[in-house]
Amino acid sequence: MSGTGTADRTAEEEHGDLRRSLGFRDLVVYGLLFIAPMAPVGVYGTLDAKSHGAVALVYVVATVAMAFTAFSYAQMVRVVPQAGSVFAYARAGLGKEAGFVAGWMAMLDYLLIPAVAYLFSGIAMNSLVPEVSRWVWTAFAVVVTTLLNLWGVRTAARVGFLVLAMEIVVLLVFVVSAVVVLARDGAERGWLSPLSGDGTQGAFALSAVIGAVSVAVLSYLGFDAIASFAEEVTGGSAKVARAVLFCLALAGVLFVAQTYLVALLDPTTSAQYARDPGRQGSAFYDAVDSAAGTWLHDLVAVSKAIGAAFAALAGQAAAGRLLFAMGRDRRLPRALARTDSGVPRVALLCAAGITLVAAVWAARRDDGMDHLVSVVDIGALTAFTLLHASVVGWFAVRRRGGPVIWWRHVLVPVAGAAITVAVIVEASGAAQVVGALWLVAGLAVLTAQHARRSPADEATGR
């Protein structure tokens, strides 16, 4: 017995706790960095074409839709305040197998979304300094942000706050410039058209707006990463819940405001974007350039380049916490649960290595961005669906959270699950195939783990 006790103590020392050092502001910084305040810039043209010009309405509806998921996160982080987020919630509400599946699917999202952001930063920097290959800029961004994450979550949050402040200032400059241009020259489209459509593709169609929402909700991926820091926040898990809800609400306001304004400035109609998909990617920049001049175009582009790298920093930090939690639970190699001065450096380095390979591979291919973007969202949406199910499992089925409040513990999560499933159905065929293959791989790993479980693991329920 004494030998076993010594081994257990040694294991605890090697796999220590995370350091509690984050406040509410730090959580909001991480959430907004991962989301990116100007996330609609890259998808504005696509959404305008899909929604027949009602692009601001798309973000109103998308904010409401994602509020269901944010609410479920807020419910579970209060009762399961652990690193790993949806992995821990599904494990508690649905069982350890469902927890593994949720964590496995979230891993696909958390490891590849930073790769997309790093690639975006590399492409932007290459456009400014074309003498340096974009894969070199991409790798440089990975190295710099990884070093900040290894330095500690508090230090990374402080630097991230400065970058976020810069992004907010650029957004405010855009808003003020847009208002000045609109007051001086008037709007290119009708003042209500961003909410009702521009009429160039026929009458207002709700189905077109809903179809665009399936793309717009992807702009919000990242607010959920806040829950991954539940073991590093001071003052209790209620602070994490408030930060999740606050980030989503603030992002919604910013997204609606900027898409409303740029739609009014845009001389190109939604029908023209629909006929010429090649113009959709640069639609936001083109509208700003034609209305306010090249200087604002360049300012927004530089802000996006820097902001993308730090969005990846927040994503990498969240990925490290997910790997740490799954390693601590022995669902991934135990070495991932090692901490050094409260920092999960092994997990962070593992996440950084995978992201670096994916980002540099994509940066060296002309179609690399398309390949990455097509698969990053399926993992998150599947994990969100299991999150909603875990709320029902914890509160309504297992009745672990006191009296059941049906609208809170059943109605909202069921509606949220219906939304995430609908978005998965609307995803591209390639993304669905990759998601299915990743799920099959996870189930194979789970089966292998069951096959080699020891009697001690059976006794502890691992």
3-class secondary structure per residue, 267-307: CCCHHHHHHCHHHCCCHHHHHHHHHHCHHHHHHHHHHHHHH
Q: Find residue 202's DSSP bridge partners.
A: 200
Q: Which of 246, 225, 245 is nearest to 109 (CA)?
A: 225
Q: 131-135, 156-160, 334-338, 421-425: lowest mean pLDDT where?
A: 156-160
User: What distance in Å separates the CA atoms of residue 384 and residue 393, rounded to the nearest whole number?
Assistant: 14
- Measured CA to CA in angstroms, residue 444 lies from 108, 334, 354 at distances of 16, 19, 20
Span 373-424, pLDDT tens digits = 666 777 888 888 999 999 999 999 988 877 889 999 999 999 999 988 887 8
Q: For position 44, what pLDDT does the model report?
A: 86
First to last CA, the chain: 21
pLDDT given at position 199: 84
Higher pLDDT, 84 or 85: 85
Distance CA 161, CA 144 (A): 16
Checking if the pLDDT of 256 tops 90, the result is yes
Give yes or no for residue 11 having a pLDDT over 50: no
Separation of alpha carbons 15 and 332, rounded Å = 14
Q: How many Cα atoms are found within 13 Å in the side-chain-facing hemisphere of 192?
A: 2
Residue 147 corresponds to which amino acid? L
Examine the pLDDT at 253 and tell me if it is beyond 90: yes
**What is the predicted pLDDT for the residue at 431?**
76
Structure confidence by residue, pLDDT tens digits, 141-181: 889 888 888 887 677 777 778 888 888 888 898 899 999 99
Average pLDDT, the chain: 82
Q: Are 375 and 75 in contact (CB under 8 A)?
A: no
Interior CA angle at 251 toward 37 and 40, to 5°? 55
pLDDT digits (tens, 9 = 90+) for 216-241: 877 787 777 787 777 778 877 788 88
Determine the pLDDT at residue 370: 60
Residue 40: predicted pLDDT: 85
Neighbours of 424 (CB within 10 A): 18
Token pair listed for 15: 């796999």
Contacts of residue 319, defined as CB under 8 A and 6 or more positions apart, other chains included, come to 107, 110, 111, 114, 347, 351, 355
